[in-house]
Amino acid sequence: MVSKAGRWWRSAVVYQVYIRSFADSSGDGVGDIAGLRSRLPYLAGLGIDALWINPWYPSPMRDGGYDVADLRGIDPSFGTLLEAEAMIREAHGLGLRVLLDLVPNHVSDQHAWFREALAAGRAGSGSSARARFLFRDGRGPAGAEPPNDWTSNFGGSAWTRVTDPDGRPEQWYLHLFAPEQPDLDWTNREVQDEFAAVMRFWFDLGVDGFRIDVAHGLAKAEGLPDLGETEWPPGADGRLGHPHWDRDEVHAIYRSWRALADEYDDPRVFVGEAWVHDSERLARYVRSDELHTAFNFDFLLAPWDAEPMRRSIETTLRTHEAVGAAPTWVLSNHDTVREVSRYARPQGVRRLLKLDDVLALPADRPAGLRRARAAALLMLALPGGAYIYQGEELGLPEVEDLPDEALRDPVWALSGHAERGRDGCRVPIPWSGPAPPFGFSPVAADAAPWLPQPASWRELTVEAQTGADGSTLELYRRALAVRREHPALGDGHLTWLCMPAGALAFVRDPGFGCIVNFSAADSVPIPPDAAPLLASGSLTQDRRVPQDTAVWLTLDQSTAKRA
Ligand code: NOJ
């Protein structure tokens, strides 16, 4: 069933399983491997090619599992290594590849290496145990000031000072994320060797590849200089040279990983999570001897508007083609506002990334859903691969009214309750039934879902949407089925057609067309020699595409020629 074998990743639709929120079989309110296994037939039926599973390793869960305590294990709340192996086998049996999440920038403060580093104490400040991390003496009198001015992504300083067993303050360590996520030093040989061994461990277990967490953050400037006025993303002058984001030194790491992945007969693949400031910089991560693919966040961040979307698509295609890589398209993930809610907001702003800023804007919810559905057809028609974040196929909105006491994202506490964080897009999936837990947990569960589901989701369950005319789930199923069969879709090229302002249209060989009307006030006519194949919403009586609607078309030769 795996489509377009060979370099399959160039066309693959990958489904993101945020395992804590996917399906709970044990009844503790947290998703697990057994739950995922029970839902594999659903995923295969949806028509995807691969899964990417968010971190499932042993973890204190200070950052949803991105604080890994053991890189070769499974957290007991998710199951066992044996279950993981069985899951991989079963997925393969259904024609689905499996990607895991590799977190190389940092580990948990409970990882054996970090405990060893702490145990080395002040006397061990030059020890090999500390050299795996970025321990430094503080500045100022008695070293009481952090070693530099870097800030954590989650708020506050990027440095935490450790104390000796007698409670006396000693060195500081770097953490670009939570204090419980100490950064590794990637110039350290042991760190490099350990990650190579970890990759082999999972590859040998049958895993098909890795999503690379914070792929743009592993290299730090020598001497860890102050950030000072350095802006991120770079200011108007485009000046590069940030001391810890998107440094050129990361590429040597990915070249060595690519060599390792290529040793396998069925080559293992990587997708980089690299938040870089433009498509040219992103393309550097997917040069032919580096990562196979990278998430295209530029597309995710583009407002729902024809011109910015077209620019994002064109630039992506051009920069990826220049290095021979296939683009990937993505609308959301476990760190962003779900697109139904994002597109419900006024779309003027280019960088709608700060979650609270997005959600503070007034919402037109029906428009959000219409646009998200149209965006799905646009995304799945573009050349390259695509990512679907669990629940996207159900048209789930962001849960915007989680009570304060339910919030689990470390961002909430670390920002001093200034930012609510990312829990609103992580609420457990509604599978069936009229009330929470909507089949997420078994009927006799001991605990409620770890984040509360809104009662209104009764209309959005998989059960409610299955077979329902016009449901978002059926739209995705149909689109994925067409994509799987249609020779024009997946990897390849597109040709733009002329359209009125506010609309985009392109054709793909052989015989496929896509029209998206973002905002053209007059609906857009479908060419007479084209037949609608699938539409994200109703077309007008006279076969025109209204606003916030996308349509896929079957073309006969003459439309294709006009392109
Ligand atoms: C990116 C992950 O997607 C996010 O969830 C996590 O908090 C950070 N990296 C740190 O690992």
Best residue among 21, 53, 177, 423 to mutate for probing ligand 1, ranked by most atoms within 8 Å of CB: 177
- Whether the Cβ atoms of residue 499 and residue 310 lie closer than 8 Å to each other: no
Amino acid type, 523: S
The whole model's pTM is what?
Answer: 0.96
* pLDDT of amino acid 1: 36
User: What pLDDT, on the 0 to 100 scale, is given for residue 240?
Assistant: 67
Mutate to test the pocket of ligand 1, among 21, 63, 106 (most ligand atoms within 8 A of CB): 63
For ligand 1, atom 2, the nearest C-alpha belongs to 213
Residue 352: pLDDT above 60?
no
CA distance 429 to 396: 9
Widest pairwise Cα distance in the chain: 82
What would the two tokens of residue 330 be? 């993505």
Angle of helix 189-204 versus helix 250-262 axis, rounded to 10? 30
User: 350 versus 192: which is more confidently predicted?
Assistant: 192
Task: Say whether pLDDT at 449 is over 50.
Answer: yes
List the catalytic residue out of 213, 246, 290, 393: 213
Q: How far apart are CA 466 and CA 483, in angstroms?
A: 20
Q: Tokens 């695509």 sit at which residue? A: 386
Ligand 1 centroid to Cα of residue 298, in Å, is 18
Question: CA 422 to CA 402: how far, in whole Å?
Answer: 11
Q: Are 8 and 2 in contact (CB under 8 A)?
A: yes
Tell which residue, 8, 202, 31, has the closest CA to residue 96.
Answer: 8
pLDDT at 2 over 50: no
CA dist., res. 298 & res. 237, Å (int): 19
Closest CA to 531 of 507, 555, 508: 555
**Any residues with CB less than 8 A from the CB of 58 and at least 6 apart, and which?**
68, 69, 70, 73, 74, 75, 76
- In tens, the pLDDT along 166-218 reads 899 999 999 999 999 999 999 999 999 999 999 999 999 999 999 999 999 99
Q: How does pLDDT run across 387-440, given as a tens digit for each residue?
A: 999 999 999 999 999 999 999 999 999 999 999 999 999 999 999 999 999 999
Contact 327, 284 (CB under 8 A): no
Q: Are 289 and 258 in contact (CB under 8 A)?
A: yes
Residues 298, 304, 307, 309, CA torsion sign: positive
- Cα–ligand 1 centroid distance for 510 (angstroms): 40
Confidence band (pLDDT; 50, 70, 90) for 124?
confident
Distance 23 CA to ligand 1 centre (A): 21
